[in-house]
Chains A and B, each alone.
Chain A
Amino acid sequence: MSQWTAFFNILAKDVHAYYLKPPNISWGLLFPLAWTGMFFIKSGQGLEDVLGLLPGVVALSILFGTTSMLAVTVTFEKKNRSFERLLLSPISLELLMLAKTGGAIIFGLANAFVPVIMASFLTDLSSIAWGSFFMAVLLIAIASAFLGLFIAVAVSEVFEAQTFSNFFRFPMVFLCGLFFPIAKLPVFLRPLSYALPLTYGVDVLHGSVQSTNIMPMYLDLVVLAGFCILLFAGSLHNIKRKWIM
């Protein structure tokens, strides 16, 4: 199908033009490295707690690696009008937006494995259930990319997209059980935690690493997938409403 030629070329162009640029690569590597180093050292609990911190650091790396990229691949391209060319081409909007988010998802996956590789030098990772771990990483990457897309489509300036994504990202670090269990949060904040997709992804990561999940993992994955579908559908709806005037 000719649409797939378009799909792969849009994806390849973004990877080539944005993701493989030196600032992005170094950011993609340095950021998870810095977080990992900071948490592993500061925890003061010695190296045995590496496994306790790993899920949080992995989730953080994905979240920060993916969301901000859509500000460039979508908001910036909309602003300089090159996005128009994509809208003019004979490719369905669904496939087009999957191509535009595909790069961010791959970038998020790559970011996720920086802390994993670091941790492998510090401790024994053989007890991790890799199947569910990878499922969680993939779905967190997709959900974060789609969250980024949702924000990127809702605004018209690149800086707005970045401001907005921080508005979502920083609360998520504290509310989604990355480093402190949700049970320790004030009662009134807990409903908020369950309204955020990352909570469910992190729960699966905790379950895969140390079996400390608070919900059944399959349920987590289903809810997370539901978030992905909602965010994607919402973004498409906004594009149709706002950009094809």
Chain B
Amino acid sequence: MNGIYLDNNATTMVAPEVVSAMLPYFSEQFGNPSSMHQFGDKVGRALTEARRQVQALLGAEHDSEIIFTSCGTESDTTAILSALRVQPERKEIITTVVEHPAILNLCKQLEEEGYTVHYLKVDKKGRIDMGSYYNLLSDKVAIVSVMWANNETGTLFPVQEMAELAHAAGVLFHTDAVQAVGKLPINLKESRIDMLSLSGHKLHAPKGVGVLYLRRGVRFRPLLRGGHQERGRRAGTENSAGIVALGKACELAMQTLEQEKTEVRALRDRLERGLLAQISHCFVTGDPGNRLPNTCNIAFEYIEGEAILLLLNRLGIAASTGSACSSGSLEPSHVMRAMDIPFTAAHGSLRLSLSRYNSEAEIDYVIESLPPIVAQLRKLSPYWRGDGPVSNPQDLFTPNYA
């Protein structure tokens, strides 16, 4: 397919090597890995291999710490519910205001059920205050769940330090590392992280396969009970093709981590510099000095993100926005709001997320294409006149009906 894909935080292309690795598991390798015959045995061995590949990428001490699930959301849910069930006397959860809905909506539900959820706030750069975190840790807290990297801005949280603090306080620590795995080096055996979620489709494996890392010795209750798959920790006949694919994707990610850090980052920086140099009244959101190497999130003031996306799409460029209208929610993304980005800019936030499959030519094309789009939309905007915003835009244009 033609087009420039800069929406890799939403999902990624399945790597060609991954596709070829998984294909046999749709056809000749159809056996049930639990079966006592050659059909099952071959598949069982493939799953073992995949488990080791995931283990290697995560730097986990044991391959039995890897539990295959159906997606990142399932891993997140399993982790939090398990922590609550093994410690029924602990009724509090600590998380942040900028988590993915997989965590936030679960927490909202748990609040309805009587749990107390502490949401750590972030500052204008999307950073949390370790002091307030430290003060919340107590023996009433069942689990801390904090994302490793934010899906919208790429901002990284100091999860390793946070896990240390949680461990010292005797509190379980989970991290949603869906956006981090494959983009950053991770070494779980050197950390105090008890549980970690990842999702295949964010690292060039297909959709519908994920992993929950569960440190050996951490007490656990399964989400799905049934057969003895995944050592009874996640029942349901394994998605063998997906798991094999994820294993292969992890193996590839091991080899390309360096590339993420150098080439992908250089492309991202080139893109960002190119855009900022040409377009006025825009700024990078999040914490630019401390973020994923592939993510660039820029807020363009006085225009709206969905309109930008539609115009980009016409040129074959795929990106995403934190604007309300693209989601139908009518409110700008909770991440933009949490960082206190003014509404005039929050609606115009554009996320460009790269992968190792992007080229310099593509990036240059975007650098060339985006400025006229921004100019075109600003020309339509009531907040804009000529080369800049109307002086004191909020006063000059004060629409009725708030």
The reply to whether chain A is a binding partner of chain B is: no
